[in-house]
Amino acid sequence: MTSSSPLDFEQPIAELDGLIAELKQLAQDPAADAEARGRGMDITAEIAKVEALRQNKLRQIFRNLTPWNEVQIARHTDRPYTLDYIRLLFTDFMELHGDRINSDDPAIVGGLAYFEGRPVVVLGHQKGRDLKERQYRNFGSPRPAGFRKALRLMKLAEKFRRPLIVFVDTPAAEANLRAEEDGVSRAIAVNLFEMSTLRTPIVVAVIGEGGSGGALALALGDRTVMLEHAIYSVIPPESCAAILFNDRSRAPEAAVALKLTAQDALSLGLVDEVLPEPLGGAHRDNAATASTLGAAISTQLAALCGIGIDALVVRRYERFRRMGQWDDPSAVDSLVKVP
């Protein structure tokens, strides 16, 4: 599958895609095909050559991605979102709305569903395809009501003893005066507290951007899987560059320092498994990506559902306590100056 919105580093692939399309169009024209054969040119063979060149070029490019390239792929507008995975992996999905306090936040979607015949609760961040939907979904940045809605769904999972499956894909929580007035920081903190002791298995999948507290407020689970070209970061690279360098254009430099790639997250112990994507990224084959993701979720659920709930909660606590430990205490002293 070709990408309808090629990224800057994908331009050589886009040019080859255009050439392949032109050759295929010529092959469908009997007159043009006959003329080509008259000149000793086999259009079908040429298409095969260019397609082989395209695959080689694609492999070369994706073997040498920078962290900033990974950020671009994670944000790709054709990348499958939470509702795409719900459609491909779940049955009998019944979406639930509202935080039961004041509003419904479309940046968070979720409800009751069946996964491989098992009743579950599924929720996640949702971005938009076009400008109108992106504005409606607030570009995937949850407001306080979104976190409260997510918590309501988590509590339903606990009440009805259904495993909770979460898809993470947000640049960050909404960060403006209105969000602060509505209690966004507290909403995130409450979710973290409640998820830490939620008495049901939780599987988290980072499918695109795992940005800051907006991601973590839904991501405190028993197992976390992450797609190959997703990212997981304490802050978006542009915001990091603005704070550290007073220059948002240095975002690629910040992306390197943030160690936000899937392999970085795996090496740091933040995720349990990195899942391969189709060559060129998930946006090139939604169905294949969903199949890989579904198999991983199934495996993780099978393991978690065999653990007693009391032991599960203890293990979850211990899992997050292990994150960020220092082997060398002097390394902490070098970063934190004690008066």
The pLDDT of residue 17 is 81
The pLDDT of residue 23 is 76
Residue spans per domain, the chain: 8-64, 72-321
How many residues appear in the chain?
339
Amino acid residing at 276:
P
Contacts of 326 (CB under 8 A, 6+ apart): 332
Q: Take residue 225 and report the two structure tokens written for it.
A: 């899987």
The pLDDT of residue 333 is 55
Give the span between the Cα atoms of 12 and 286, in whole angstroms.
Answer: 22
Q: Could you tell me how many helices (H) and strands (E) the chain has, helices first?
A: 16, 8
CB 137 within 8 A of CB 94: no
Amino acid residing at 328:
D
Q: How far is CA 67 from CA 79, 148, 220, 232, in A?
A: 17, 32, 24, 11
The pLDDT of residue 60 is 87
Q: Take residue 332 and report the two structure tokens written for it.
A: 């902490």
Instruction: Name the one residue in this structure whose structure tokens are 């979850």.
Output: 316
CATH superfamily, domain 72-321, is 2-enoyl-CoA Hydratase; Chain A, domain 1 (3.90.226.10)
CB 258 within 8 A of CB 238: no
pLDDT, one tens digit for every residue, the chain (339 residues): 555 678 888 888 888 888 888 777 776 766 655 665 666 566 677 788 888 888 888 888 888 899 999 999 999 999 999 999 999 999 999 999 999 988 899 999 999 999 999 999 999 999 998 899 999 999 999 999 999 999 999 999 999 999 999 999 999 999 899 988 888 999 999 999 999 999 999 999 999 999 989 999 999 999 999 999 999 999 999 999 999 899 999 999 999 999 999 999 999 999 999 999 999 899 989 999 999 999 999 999 999 998 999 999 999 999 998 887 666 666 555 544 444
The pLDDT of residue 2 is 55
Neighbour tally for 232: CB within 10 Å:
27
Give the span between the Cα atoms of 150 and 154, in whole angstroms.
Answer: 6
User: How is residue 235 annotated by DSSP?
Assistant: S
Q: Take residue 62 and report the two structure tokens written for it.
A: 């994706």
The pLDDT of residue 238 is 92
The pLDDT of residue 34 is 60
